[in-house]
Structure 1
Amino acid sequence: MSQNLYITNYCDKRCSPADSLTKLPVSDAYSLAKELSQYTGSSFTSFSRFCDKDFDGYYKKRIRTEEWLYSSFIALGGNPQSAHPIYFVLGESTYLHQWFDHGLQTKLLLNDIDPADISFTFGDSMSIMDSADRMNPFTKESLFQFIHETTSDITSFLKDLDHKNRYIEAQLWNDTYVKQADNSTK
């Protein structure tokens, strides 16, 4: 079952999966957000968060979320190579594929990722961070245990989550995997 599990990163075709505003100095992050906000359309898409009226709140919450994820991952025994993860979902998400304007997808086999390089949350980490009933991040081992205890058909389980516009978020704490994937597709 776990041999076929993969994680997917979605990003707009004008961006790169390993890019992250939070890895930049603050002034550069705000400058880039201003540049990216020009791609905001009439519908809510991934670039909507970069608009002047939304970006400051988004950026501050993203930083707080990543601090929470990082400290939680360290407490779980993780060994992050970066203070800012690259975000994936377990399996696929139709919602995110549309939200990122049917852009780039990077898929990595979960078995190829060292447990010390990845953590998970039930749902979008930013959305759940301030929730009273949030569950803390968990490890790859805990994910496999949860899957084993919950379902005998992981494919149906993931399709059901996708159908409900829900997902299990994966935080990848080592950029090497994405860089290797980028090099293999060139």
Structure 2
Amino acid sequence: MVPHYMIIGECPWLREWYQDGRTVKIAMDAFHPLTLSFTYGDSFPAMRVQDGKPYRGKVYTLSEIMEVIREYGLPQIWNADGQNGPERYIEAQIWDDISLPEEQD
């Protein structure tokens, strides 16, 4: 199984990657908590950068990431320009494939 990647909150920097970038909002409670994991920042630098920041190298549950957000805030707010490190958003990994009914003719 592979995750579906999303982020917590809006990130104008990501929207700028696309000519007509859009935001989709899905409430956290739309997912079972056990199907969610999070990294503080994009998962690749979050797991590889070794700069001593306490949130590095960890994968969080929903309740854990909410505590990290309370402590450090949303990276897209305090690091909008990327000058303070690689964290620009909080990555959400959704480990669930929703089965949709097939279209009927």
Match of 1:150? 71
Q: Does 1:87 align with 2:5?
A: yes
8 Å CA contact retained: 2:6, 2:91? yes
- Structure number with larger C-alpha Rg: 1
8 Å CA contact retained: 1:93, 1:162? no
Match of 1:173? 95
Distance 2:94 2:26 in 1: 10
Q: Does 1:122 align with 2:44?
A: no
For each residue in 1:13-69, what CA deviation from the matched residue of structure 2 results, as whole angstroms up to 9, or x when unmatched? xxxxxxxxxxxxxxxxxxxxxxxxxxxxxxxxxxxxxxxxxxxxxxxxxxxxxxxxx
Distance 1:158 1:170 in 2: 14
In structure 1, which of residues 125, 131, 156 is the aligned counterpart of residue 49 of structure 2?
131
Give, in angstroms, the shift of residue 135 of structure 1.
Answer: 2.4
Query: Which one has the bigger helix percentage?
Result: 1
In structure 2, which of residues 16, 22, 26 is the aligned counterpart of residue 98 of structure 1?
16
8 Å CA contact retained: 1:121, 1:169? yes
Structure 2: where are the runs of 5+ without partners? 83-87, 101-105
Partner of 1:129: helix, strand, or coil?
Answer: helix
- Kindly report the root-mean-square deviation, in angstroms, between the aligned alpha carbons of the 2 structures: 2.9
Partner of 2:14: helix, strand, or coil?
Answer: helix
8 Å CA contact retained: 1:92, 1:162? no
Distance 1:92 1:98 in 2: 12
Distance 2:39 2:49 in 1: 13
Structure 1: where are the runs of 5+ without partners? 1-82, 180-186
Distance 2:65 2:78 in 1: 15
8 Å CA contact retained: 1:161, 1:167? no
Identical pairs, percent: 31
State the TM-score, normalized to the length of structure 2. 0.67
Give, in angstroms, the shift of residue 86 of structure 1.
Answer: 1.0
- Residue 132 to residue 158, structure 1, CA distance change in 2 (3 Å): closer
Relative contact order higher in (CA < 8 Å, ≥ 6 apart): 2
State the TM-score, normalized to the length of structure 1. 0.41
Distance 2:43 2:7 in 1: 11
Distance 1:174 1:160 in 2: 29
Match of 1:163? 80
Amino acid at match of 1:130: R
